[in-house]
Amino acid sequence: MAVPLAFFGLFFAYPVAAIVGRGLRTDEGWRFGRIGEVLGRPDIADVLWFTTWQALASTALTLLVALPGAYVLARFSFPGRQLLRALVTVPFVLPTVVVGTAFLALVGRGGLSDEVWGVRLDTTVWAILLAHVFFNYAVVVRTVGGLWAQLDPRQEEAARVLGAGRFGAWWRVTLPALGPAVAAAALMVFLFTFTSFGVVQILGGPSYATLEVEVYRQTAQLLDLSTAAVLTMVQFVAVGLILAVHAWTVRRRETALRLVDPARTAHPPRGWAQRALLGGVLLTVVLLIVAPLAVLVERSFDAPGGYGLGFYRALQDAGAGGGTFLVPPLEAIWNSLQYALAATAIALFVGGLAAAALTRRAGRFVRGFDALLMLPLGVSAVTVGFGFLITLDEPPLDLRTSWILVPLAQALVGVPFVVRTMLPVLRAVDGRLREAAAVLGASPWRAWREVDLPMVRRALLIAAGFAFAVSLGEFGATVFIARPDRPTLPVAVARLLGRAGELNYGQAMALSTILMLVCAVALLALERLRPDKTSGEF
Amino acid sequence: MSTTKKIAGVALATALGVTALSACGGGEGKDKPGASDAPTKSKTVTLVSHDSFSVSDGVLKEFEQQSGYTVKILKSGDAGTALNQEILTKGSPRGDVFFGVDNTLLSRALENGIFTPYEPKGLDAIASEYVLDKGHKVTPIDSGDICVNYDKAYFADKKIAPPQTLDDLLKPEYKNLLVTENAATSSPGLGFLLASIGKYGEDGWKDYWSKLKDNGVEVVDGWEQAYNERFSGSAGGKKAKGDRPLVVSYASSPPVEVIYADPQPAEAPTGVATGTCFRQIEFAGLLKGAKNEAGGKALIDFLVSKKFQEDMPLNMFVNPVVKGAALPEAFTKHGVVIEKPETVAPEDIAKNREQWVKAWSSLVVK
């Protein structure tokens, strides 16, 4: 408990409080009058309204599209299932710069949909919503699917025997059991879309702005710290409210579930209805997730003088970036992996301790802490980054130019994932099993190892996968601190896209493709690590 | 997969993570800030800059050898963001020298007093029109022009002459052809707005923009999108099927299109409308509270040395400010020299920038 608290206080609460304080305090004292002034501005009201409704719409759409996917990936076994599961997670870690480019190529002017159907969606809200679904599909699939795969199907069968219809059994048995996970996923998606930055900036054009975009503009570009502080607080309150509602709905629903080995619940699809469902999900994935990724890959090979590896060859050459990187862009891959591994280790350590502490205890304080750990997701990277700048500048904590700042900032976003993923499973472990182990003479440590660990290992791996993925694609905080001799992949892509010329553009596409591959491979490796008693999955 | 294998796998992954941690950590031990950075003659000098800063390896190494300093480069976001971070950390800077404050932001930097005055060796060689701060708190390093670029092929096909001036852009034959950037978020976007303010003055620019809007100007958020997605003349735009043959970019963009094409064409695919330009000048300054002031001074001397000035164009696509620094062939062959760029005095920019941008936003974007 102490470790997560200290981590959270030092690397989140203190920097953010400092930067907000700087915006609201002058030599004459606090200026709380600013709050009313800022909120009274019509442009700010527009921003608030847009932020809220697009997040609601995105969340609803994501749940609608992704829940069938979660079911199919959890309950059906079919060739290539692991590959598919890794694939849907890839978007989640792509830098938004790249996604924006891909989506414009799909739904923009002269894009695929324009050529085929004459439909253009760029600079409409639809493009933003679609991109949000694209990004967050994996959140639902992994959060809900992870639990769904372990629910004992016999409970539903028992309900059917007792006379419930197919839907009734699902409605009364499965859905309540899934409730916390669905709520957690919905909350995640809402948070991500509420605080969406890159997607809105690229696809929305200058006429749409979310709170996050506005905070960034006010802080980084206009240095209007007091307006930024007010907006940060508004976002804070909004996120706090969401979390409170979430905590209230989830609190009484995490009853002990009967969890079984996921391998036992999966079966090949039977009958036309299930096959149609599988087909529908596959079609959705192809249209929504594969198509934008495919456009990127296609462009990365579209070298001058016909298709080929020209852009990839250029990546090995340090001079290719015109000296931008001081190292060949390929080295960015290695940098990214190192940072992501470090961030994952930190996030697992801090998040794991927090989740364990939260399982053991109940009470108002602990619930508050649970919600507190989620807050970093609702605060913009620029606020945290600027907060770091003005707080971590004294030895022994002058970390402003230290490499560790990058994984720390990334872990801040990773921790909530770890907690969210671990907690439902940890809480669902039946306490009597532990007691039985204790009665049989096991030490607490051994009881945990023999009873809890096997059940939570999968959740642990999913959490690790998430934390790793988030770190790999994290861009906001990294831009502040990544040193030019050690650029991460997203930073390198953004820099290449920021220059004219065909080779730079092509290299950006090639690097994005590599980033996708690295993510897919990392995620696949995690999938392979799953405890899994049947080897007939692949 | 057996259980032992799996455990081994998990253990391996964990070990890897730990090794990576210690591997990263090991390399960083030697430049830990704090104790070792006592005000003795420090051997490291740190340059803080924006993302576009770049220098050839050889040139930097030569400076390190001659001066005995090791140069650390710290990039932190775009020009505005990088400068704002320096203002926030005033008095306890992350580095010794800041490079990349331009004439649109200069007053903000000077008002906040983040620099210590320094007259570099070689100041006499800098053309005097670039020296905007007579107190020498900042030293000009490079200049570049923000101009409308056109897609040569498009205008050749249509047999229309490409536009040359700001007035031309209002003509009906150029309707719906121009894409520009958001002046609130993008420095070329702001530059283009300032070009119109420089030309038509405080009273005329709004009128110009409302006509430009009627003539179908498109506004996107950033340069990347305008140039690589919407503009039909750039390599990226061709692939993205951009359909705007006019874009607000830089006078140095056509040479870049040549240098980064494979094979290199004999002629640049894009041209520059020379009567639409705004001149940007970038400065460097010694940061107040620098840990290594002597090193910082040596670094600024290096930035205005002929060696660095001649290395700059192909790395950052900007023009040198030092008299007699030779331009690379690609620039002389495919670039144009802008004789009469529009200018706005830095103090006017400082005073009015925010209201200009606000007025522009409500006029053009909303």
Query: pLDDT for A281-340, tens place per residue?
Result: 889 888 888 888 888 888 888 877 778 788 888 777 655 444 444 456 777 888 888 888
- Of the candidate ranges B14-18, B77-81, B325-329, the one whose mean pLDDT is the lowest: B14-18
Beta strands in B103-232 (DSSP E): 115-116, 138-151, 178-181, 218-220
Please check the confidence at residue A57 and state whether its pLDDT lies above 80.
yes
B239 reaches A (C-beta below 8 A)? yes
Is the Cβ pair B314, A342 closer than 8 Å?
no
pLDDT above 70 as % of chain B: 89
d(CA A289, CA A69): 12
> What pLDDT, on the 0 to 100 scale, is given for residue B16?
39
Q: Could you please report the per-residue DSSP string of A42-91?
A: HHHHHHHHHHHHHHHHHHHHHHHHHHHHHHHHHHB--TTHHHHHHHHHHH
Interface of A with B in 14-33 (CB under 8 A): 22
Tokens found for residue B86:
């320096």
Residue A453's closest chain B neighbor by CA? B7
Of the spans A325-334, A388-397, B247-256, which averages the highest pLDDT?
Answer: B247-256
> What pLDDT, on the 0 to 100 scale, is given for residue B141?
97
Residue A389's closest chain B neighbor by CA? B89
d(CA A10, CA A397): 10
d(CA B235, CA B255): 13
Beta strands in chain B (DSSP E): 44-49, 70-75, 97-102, 115-116, 138-151, 178-181, 218-220, 246-250, 270-287, 319-320
- Single-letter code of the amino acid located at A92: F
d(CA A75, CA A69): 10
> What pLDDT, on the 0 to 100 scale, is given for residue A462?
75
Find chain A residues with C-beta within 8 A of B261's C-beta. Answer: 304, 501-503
> What pLDDT, on the 0 to 100 scale, is given for residue A111?
63
Render pLDDT for A476-497 as a digit per residue (tens, 0 to 9).
666 666 565 677 788 788 777 7
Please check the confidence at residue B28 and state whether its pLDDT lies above 70.
no
- Of the candidate ranges A464-468, A499-503, B221-225, the one whose mean pLDDT is the lowest: A499-503
Residue A115's closest chain B neighbor by CA? B241
B94 reaches A (C-beta below 8 A)? yes
A308 reaches B (C-beta below 8 A)? no
A414 reaches B (C-beta below 8 A)? no
Beta pairing class for B97-102 and B115-116: unpaired
CB atoms within 10 A of CB A454: 13
A475 reaches B (C-beta below 8 A)? no
Tokens found for residue A16:
């953010």
d(CA A2, CA B34): 27
- Of the candidate ranges B62-76, B139-153, B222-236, the one whose mean pLDDT is the lowest: B222-236
> What pLDDT, on the 0 to 100 scale, is given for residue A236?
85
Is the Cβ pair A479, B315 closer than 8 Å?
no
Render pLDDT for A506-524 as a digit per residue (tens, 0 to 9).
888 888 888 888 777 777 7
- Better pLDDT: A535 or A449: A449
> What pLDDT, on the 0 to 100 scale, is given for residue B110?
92
- The pLDDT of A66-70, averaged and rounded, is 90
- The pLDDT of A221-237, averaged and rounded, is 87
A378 reaches B (C-beta below 8 A)? no
Is the Cβ pair A503, B57 closer than 8 Å?
no
Residue A271 CB contacts under 8 Å (≥ 6 apart), including other chains: none
Residue A494 CB contacts under 8 Å (≥ 6 apart), including other chains: A95, A97, A475, A479, B51
Please check the confidence at residue A537 and state whether its pLDDT lies above 60.
no
Please check the confidence at residue B12 and state whether its pLDDT lies above 60.
no
CB atoms within 10 A of CB A294: 14
| Residue closest to A475 by CA, chosen among A399, A401, A406 | A406
Is the Cβ pair A322, B21 closer than 8 Å?
no
Is the Cβ pair A205, B262 closer than 8 Å?
no
- Of the candidate ranges B54-58, B59-63, B235-239, B341-345, the one whose mean pLDDT is the lowest: B235-239
> What pLDDT, on the 0 to 100 scale, is given for residue A56?
94
Is the Cβ pair B259, A501 closer than 8 Å?
yes
Residue A169 CB contacts under 8 Å (≥ 6 apart), including other chains: A156, A157, A159, A160
